[in-house]
Amino acid sequence: MKTSRPRPLRFPRPALLLLVFWLAALAGAKTDSPLEMSMQQIKKAYKDLVAGLDKPIETNKATYLSLAGTIKTSAMKARELVPEMAAKLPPDQQAAMVKSFRESMADFLVSVDALIKNIQDAKWDEARKDLSLLKSEMKDGHREFRRED
């Protein structure tokens, strides 16, 4: 007599995997805060400007100015916002933190203006130095005002 062997349980594996990844992505996804969005804009423009000023071409000056302008308008927006870290501080320390953040962003904007001026004057060495300064201001700003995940 022929015995029928139990059929192994079959899952539609690729579809199941996709579902698992999709659910995991959904669980991990969080929307960017307005400050994070401004920072992302600064990041992109900064990166493109570093690449452009590596071997600057006089005829590309308008492009460099537009990128530096994006850094400036995004930093101006950022200056008006409040870092997420503020909410983690005791209420009596929050105002001082926001004030200090705004001062640092204002200092950053002074460096951005110097960068714009040097691009206008085609002083490329100076402009590259300004970019390095922005980077070190970024590091200080992140150390001081960016929350630990």
Q: Give residues in contact with ligand HEM (CB under 6 A).
A: 32-33, 35-36, 39-40, 42-43, 46, 83-85, 101, 104-105, 108, 134-135, 137-138, 141-142, 145-147
- What's the min distance (Å) between Cβ of 37 and ligand HEM? 7
Residue nearest to ligand HEM (CB): 141
- What's the min distance (Å) between Cβ of 33 and ligand HEM? 4
Q: How far apart are CA 65 and CA 117, in angstroms?
A: 9
- What's the min distance (Å) between Cβ of 65 and ligand HEM? 17
Indicate the angle between helix axes 34-54 and 124-145, nearest 10 degrees: 150
- What's the min distance (Å) between Cβ of 134 and ligand HEM? 4
Q: Which is it for the CA torsion 67, 80, 132, 41, positive or negative?
A: negative
Q: How far apart are CA 88 and CA 65, in angstroms?
A: 37
Q: Which is nearer to ligand HEM, 16 or 40 (CB)?
A: 40
Q: Which is nearer to ligand HEM, 99 or 142 (CB)?
A: 142
Token duo for residue 111: 């460096």
Closest CA to 45 of 71, 27, 21: 71
Q: Which is nearer to ligand HEM, 36 or 48 (CB)?
A: 36
Q: How far is CA 118 from the centre of its chain?
A: 24
* 3-class DSSP state of 57: coil
- What's the min distance (Å) between Cβ of 114 and ligand HEM? 14
Q: Which is nearer to ligand HEM, 16 or 142 (CB)?
A: 142
